[in-house]
Amino acid sequence: MRLPAIINKAYHLFKRGIGQLHLFYLSSSIYPVLSSKGNKKPVTIFFIPEAGVIPHATLTAFLARTVQELGHSVILVRCFALFKRCPVFGMKKVGTGINDEIIENICYNQCYKFSDSLAEFYNLDYIILNQFITHKEISKLDNILDNAPLDLRLFEFEGIYFGLLTMKEMVLETKISDFNNIKIEERLLWLNLIQTSIVGYLVAGKLFKKYNVSSISCFNLYASSIGMSEAAKVVGIPLYVICNGFHRNADFRRIWIAPEVSMYTNTDPVIAWPEWKELPLNGKIFNEIIMDLSGHFNAHGAVRYSPPKTGFMNNSFLNEIKNKYKKIVVAYSSSTDETLATKYLLDAKSVKDERDNISFAFYSQIHWLQETINYFSKHKDYCFIVRVHPRVGKNRVNKEISHHYFELRNAFASLPDNCFFIWPEEEISSFDLADLADLALISWSSIGLDLARMGIPVISYTNEIPTFPDDNSVIYIAKNEIDYFSEIEKYLNEKQVNYTKTMERVRYAFRWYHLQRLAVCVDFSDVIPENDFKAFPIFSLSNSAGIAESVICRNENMLKLQLIRYKNTINGETYRQESADLRIHLDNLNYLKRF
């Protein structure tokens, strides 16, 4: 080895040693709130192992400081290169075979230093999880994983199916849906996620024995926090999932907070809808919803898969079919891998959907599309277009191709001459297609809400995923196959669009958006005015702080709290203003301009 290489290696070993000494010092530090074993003052934990994902960690720390400001003992829980897989590795596309030195470098520079700055800026105490597990324990766990079954869905530890629990995160990274034939690198990723989840479970168990934890909040549910959630369930500690608002791509002015089970079932808004349905929207909320829709058209944001809306410019296909057919029906497929993984996760957690009105007109998406194509093959004066969800193939967000993509390619290799598929790699906007549509069909895709806000009638073949209310006020949910085709025929035979009916459908679509996307969040826009974190937001107590505290510290229902608050803000003028705003919106809709 040449001298410069020796010096460089010695430098990195020295730096790593200093880092480990610093870690030992911090891990051994005793904070006033946790000053002794005899101190059983309740502590609210905010778990941020993914501090390198800056918006996640910043929002979590801001919320932690809010709860602390209201008189609660709060502590951040951190780690240092403890987990084999975390959101930072996923974000940076770190492979499974990366060496420890690179991992520790990422963790130190991306996570550790940033979380240090966060804790100091928001004046928050913290502990580091590494102190709660030994290298010997991790080695023992690795030996167990070396003998894991071929089908990792069967893997369990202490009676918990960690293989099933970690499937969704693996699917989000790989897009696989055939779990019987996974590649070696996919298996290694899955094993890393399982190991991460079990380490989270083990360290959390020791943490709960040492401290009087009253509740835990974590940003989303990744492998490490799933392990912590399982440990919390054992001892009866409530765990809350927090996230940015699902609004305007990703809204970091709003914080979604809910018990863990609500994240999986997503039925809370459906249950609450009857109480919210007739509440009008004030101008501020209406404009927020318009801005979100505009963002979809512009394809602004990392989680928007469709290319931007162009108005058919230079697209010969769209311009050709625009005037060729009597009516045009567009179906929007969904990505099946996420849904399948969620089902496995729900089974592992023994979470059941208690709704008694779940309907399926078809048993799968492919069956749905096959039967719909068969219908339109007999109605040649109508055009049927399938927009394959852009996520299932290569797209501007990620380059992996899902198993479902190849299933669709094989199932629909040949088509009737009035039926077309728009594949993910084609630069055609989902919203340009919407401007052509006389009717839209979906399985459970959230684009149904975008289309409903555009005035387009939407039919879904199932409500298995509770994306919409069950009362058909926003979209129509078919009860069975006969009902599905009967509803399609009703729209195809419609001679003229009913303006009043369209206005009411759009009104309820906007109100549903308010409930499902905005009311489920605590609005901190009064103290976090910007939708990104170019710098730490200066802390100030939000007018909505009490709602966050009530949910996290007293287990109160978010939507019930928001309902009381919102009712106090509306009056007769709110109803009149909402109708005026709706009329302006309807005047701008291409759907109505065609008639």
How is the chain split into domains, by residue range?
Answer: 31-264, 267-335+354-519+584-593
| Angle at CA of residue 178, ends 177 and 184, nearest 5° | 105
What is the reported pTM? 0.91
Long-range contacts of 554-559 (CB under 8 A, 24+ apart): 555/215, 555/238, 555/259, 557/268, 558/257, 558/258, 558/268, 558/519, 558/520, 558/522, 559/268, 559/269, 559/272, 559/276, 559/515, 559/519, 559/520
How far is Cα 31 from Cα 234, in angstroms, rounded to an integer? 26
Q: Residue 489, CB half-sphere, CA atoms under 13 Å: how many?
A: 9
What pLDDT score does 535 carry? 84
One-character DSSP codes across 554-586:
H---HHHHHHHHHHTT--HHHHHHHHHHHHHHH
And the tokens for 102?
Answer: 């690179």
| β-bridge partners, 255 | 244, 522
Task: Output the CATH code of domain 267-335+354-519+584-593.
Answer: 3.40.50.2000
- Of 444, 450, 515, the C-alpha closest to 478 is 444
What pLDDT score does 522 carry? 97
Q: Are 83 and 49 in contact (CB under 8 A)?
A: yes
What pLDDT score does 477 carry? 97
Query: Tens-of-pLDDT digits for all 595 residues of the chain?
Result: 444 444 444 444 444 444 444 444 444 443 333 433 345 789 999 998 878 888 899 999 999 999 999 999 999 998 888 888 887 777 666 666 556 666 667 776 778 888 889 999 999 999 999 999 999 999 999 999 999 999 999 999 999 999 999 998 888 888 888 888 899 999 999 999 999 999 999 999 999 999 999 999 999 989 999 999 999 999 999 999 999 999 998 999 999 999 987 877 788 999 999 999 999 999 999 999 999 999 999 887 767 788 888 887 678 888 889 889 999 999 999 988 888 888 888 888 888 777 778 899 999 999 999 999 999 999 999 999 999 999 899 876 677 899 999 999 999 999 999 999 999 999 899 999 999 999 999 998 999 999 999 999 999 999 988 999 999 999 999 999 999 999 999 999 998 888 899 999 999 999 999 999 999 999 999 999 887 777 899 999 999 999 999 999 999 999 999 999 999 999 999 999 999 999 999 988 877 666 5
**Residue partners of 248: CB distance under 8 A and separation at least 6:** 288, 291, 292, 295, 301, 531
How far is Cα 578 from Cα 584, in angstroms, rounded to an integer? 10
Task: Output the CATH code of domain 31-264.
Answer: 3.40.50
What pLDDT score does 95 carry? 60
Q: In what order do the strands lie in the sheet with 239-245?
A: 125-128, 74-78, 43-47, 213-219, 239-245, 251-259, 521-523
Q: Are 192 and 154 in contact (CB under 8 A)?
A: no
Q: Secondary structure of the chain: what % helix, strand, coil (to 5)?
A: 50, 10, 35
DSSP H helical ranges for 166-282:
167-174, 184-210, 223-235, 260-265, 268-276
Residue 185: how many other CB atoms lie within 10 Å: 12
Place of tokens 């069956």: 367
Q: Do domains 31-264 and 267-335+354-519+584-593 have the same CATH topology?
A: yes
